[in-house]
Amino acid sequence: MISESALSTIKSLLKPDKTWLTPFNIVCGVILVLGAIATLLRFTFGLSAVTNLTDYQPWGLWIGFDLLCGVALAAGGYVTSASCYIFGLKRYHSAVRPAILTAFLGYALVVFALHYDVGRPWRLPYPFIVQSGTTSVLFEVGGCVALYLTVLFIEFTPPVLEWLGLKKARNLVVKLTLVLTIFGVILSTLHQSSLGALFLIAPSKLHPLWYSTYLPVYFFVSSIIAGLSMVMFEGSLSHKYMHDKMDKTHLEESENVVLGFGKAASFVMAGYFVVKVVGITMDNNWKYLFTGYGLWYLVELLGFVLTPCLMYAVGVRERNLNLIRKTAGLAVIGIVLNRFNISLIAFNYHLPLSDRYFPSIWEFVVSAFIVVVGLLVFRFISTHTPILYEHPEYKEAHH
């Protein structure tokens, strides 16, 4: 049943050779080892041994980065599949599979990271099977993420099934694409906005410039921006390092993907900017712009929202793919900055410096570990399964 090529790949994995020792692999290896140590420490000595979390700051880098940024940056999955299958923009078809793969790995790693942060990770299913706290936004986030992970998993299986040679299964899954995509967009809208809604409950702890009743809207819209930018960003990385794995269609379509997504991103960012300004006005928060935190807010809004918005627009108009790709990187950093601001920097702004939080070295290690795992798995899957190219046996089944 399983194809020849799959079998040979698995065999080669079990026989590593010298060509594996590239600088990139060595660094990854070191981080993997450190990550393993961190894992051991975390599960032998508890959170206090590996984190700087306190009673004032219960959510630190792992929530701020692994969870919030991870989910936002994995939004490329629903954005790309929506534009291709719901909006009918077939020219983005080649971008769908990498985006879905990134999204699936992203969400899987988010859940993986959660096992480190939460006190009793073996109880993570409790809200669904033991006792549900339906008044909690976190319940909704958890439920939607769990469902969406399932949706992504199903959406991610076709390339693997193709690699394994399981034709019937693959065809069945492909028939579900539209339904899964719609379901995915619904779930994504819900949990992306709810991640913002998590902070609605703590107005006294979040700086007024970042706290708003529109937080769910901000998070949802910025997730679209994150998704579009991340697809372009990791597309540019794939282009550079896995060019030989891309087929003709993929290469041909990539220019349109960059231009089209760049245009869309510029447009959405402009809307996001306007909505943020509206938010400041509605809450009468202009006076805060003339404080230290206000300056930092302006850095985020002007430097990492307005600037990439304009850069995208210019890049699209001048068909400058390089510029658009660079802007994508800037936009991704902007999303990370925004999530960090809300969860770490502007959170607990009212506390004295001595009570403020900075992540410990092991927290950085675990976060890096998770990113490295993601990179390595992505690389493996996209080099061995039809992500960046179409499987020759299924070319005509292209929907």
Partner 1 sequence: MSISRRRFLAWMGGAGAGTAALATGANAGSKHFDGYPGSFGVLHDITHCVGCRSCEEACNKVNELPPPDKPFKDLTVLEQNRRTTPKAHTVVNKYLKPGSEKPVFRKIQCNHCLEPACASACFVRAFQKNKEGAVVYDASVCVGCRYCMVACPFEIPTYEYDKVLAPRVMKCTMCAPRLAEGKLPGCVEACPKEALTFGKRDDLIKIARERIRKFPDRYINHIYGEKEMGGTSWLYLSGVAFKDIGMREDLGVVSAPELTSGALGSVPIIVGLWPVLLTGIYAISQRKDKAALEEKTQAIVEAVAKAKKDAEKKLADALAKAAKDKDAAVKKALADAAKAKKEGA
Partner 2 sequence: MIMEEKGKSRLRWGGVLAAITLWLIAAGIGAQGEKPADKSQERPDVLMIDTLKAFGDLEKPRVVFLHDLHTDALEKKGKDCSACHLREDKSGKIPGAENLEDAVKGIDKLSPKFKRLKDTARQDVMDVYHKFCIECHTDMSSAGDKAGPVTCGGCHQKNPVKSSRQEMGLDKSLHFRHIKANDKKCEKCHHEYNEKEKKLVYVKEKEADCRFCHKKETEEKRISMRLASHIACVDCHRQILAKKNPDEKAGPVKCAGCHDLIKQKAIEKVAEVPRLERKQPDTVLVKTSVTEVDSKTYKMPPVAYDHKAHEGYNDTCRVCHHASMDACSKCHTLSGSKDGQFVNLEKSMHLASSNKACIGCHLKKQETQKCAGCHSFITKTKMKETSCKACHVKVPGEPEITPKTDTAPLAKAVLDARQAIITTYPDEDIPEKVVIKDLVKQYEAAEFPHRKVIQTLVKNISENKLAGYFHTDQGMICQGCHHNSPISKKPPKCANCHGKPFDEKSLYAPGMTGAYHQQCMGCHEAMGLKKPAGCTGCHKER
With CB cut-offs between 5 and 8 Å by kind, which of partner 2, partner 1, none does residue 298 bind? partner 2
Nearer to partner 1, 13 or 179 (CB): 179
Beta bridge partners of 347: 206
- Count H helices, E strands: the chain? 17, 0
Beta bridge partners of 206: 347
Other residues' Cβ atoms within 10 Å of the Cβ of residue 188: 27
Nearer to partner 1, 131 or 284 (CB): 131
Q: Which two tokens stand for residue 195?
A: 């991640």
Residue from 227, 294, 334, 374 touching partner 2 (CB under 8 A): that is 294
With CB cut-offs between 5 and 8 Å by kind, which of partner 2, partner 1, none does residue 194 bind? partner 1
Q: Indicate whether 310 belongs to the interface with partner 2 (CB under 8 A).
A: yes
Q: Which two tokens stand for residue 379?
A: 């690389």
Nearer to partner 1, 53 or 173 (CB): 53
CA distances from 262 to 112, 279, 363 (A): 31, 25, 34
Residue from 6, 53, 151, 221 touching partner 1 (CB under 8 A): that is 53
Q: Indicate whether 37 belongs to the interface with partner 1 (CB under 8 A).
A: no
Residue with tokens 């990187």: 329
Q: Identify whether the C-beta of residue 69 lies closer than 8 Å to the C-beta of residue 218.
A: no
Q: Where are the beta strands (DSSP E) in the chain?
A: none
Q: Indicate whether 270 belongs to the interface with partner 2 (CB under 8 A).
A: no
With CB cut-offs between 5 and 8 Å by kind, which of partner 2, partner 1, none does residue 376 bind? none
CA distances from 63 to 22, 42, 162 (A): 32, 16, 35
Stretch in the footprint of partner 1 (CB under 8 A) among 10-18, 152-160, 196-204, 243-251: 196-204
- The rounded distance, in Å, linking the Cα atoms of 298 and 288 is 11
- The rounded distance, in Å, linking the Cα atoms of 184 and 180 is 6
Residue with tokens 């282009």: 239
Q: Indicate whether 353 belongs to the interface with partner 1 (CB under 8 A).
A: no
Minimum Å gap between C-beta 314 and partner 2 is 7
Q: Which two tokens stand for residue 360?
A: 């410990």
- What character string, x for contact with partner 1 (CB under 8 A) and - otherwise, covers 135-154? xxxxxx-x------------
Q: Please, which contacts does 312-318 make with residues 24 or more away whose CB atoms are closer than 8 Å?
A: 312/262, 312/263, 312/265, 312/266, 312/269, 313/263, 313/266, 315/262, 316/259, 316/262, 316/263, 316/266
With CB cut-offs between 5 and 8 Å by kind, which of partner 1, partner 2, none does residue 284 bind? none
Near partner 1 in 71-110, by CB under 8 A: 82, 85-88
CA distances from 129 to 54, 132, 139, 220, 280 (A): 30, 8, 12, 28, 41
Residue from 2, 7, 30, 132 touching partner 1 (CB under 8 A): that is 132
Stretch in the footprint of partner 1 (CB under 8 A) among 6-14, 56-64, 270-278, 390-398: 56-64
Q: Which two tokens stand for residue 18?
A: 């010298």
Q: Indicate whether 237 belongs to the interface with partner 2 (CB under 8 A).
A: no
Q: Indicate whether 30 belongs to the interface with partner 2 (CB under 8 A).
A: no
Minimum Å gap between C-beta 328 and partner 1 is 25
Nearer to partner 1, 80 or 193 (CB): 193
Residue from 138, 176, 314, 375 touching partner 2 (CB under 8 A): that is 314
Which among 84, 158, 100 has a CA at the least distance from the CA of 385? Answer: 158
Nearer to partner 1, 197 or 224 (CB): 197
Q: Indicate whether 290 belongs to the interface with partner 2 (CB under 8 A).
A: yes
Residue with tokens 């206000």: 294
- Interface residue list for partner 1 (CB under 8 A): 43-49, 51, 53, 55-56, 58-59, 82, 85-88, 118-121, 123-124, 126-127, 130-140, 142, 178, 182, 185-186, 189-190, 193-194, 197-205, 213, 216
Binding residues for partner 2, per CB under 8 A?
289-292, 294-295, 298-299, 302-303, 307, 310, 314, 318, 320
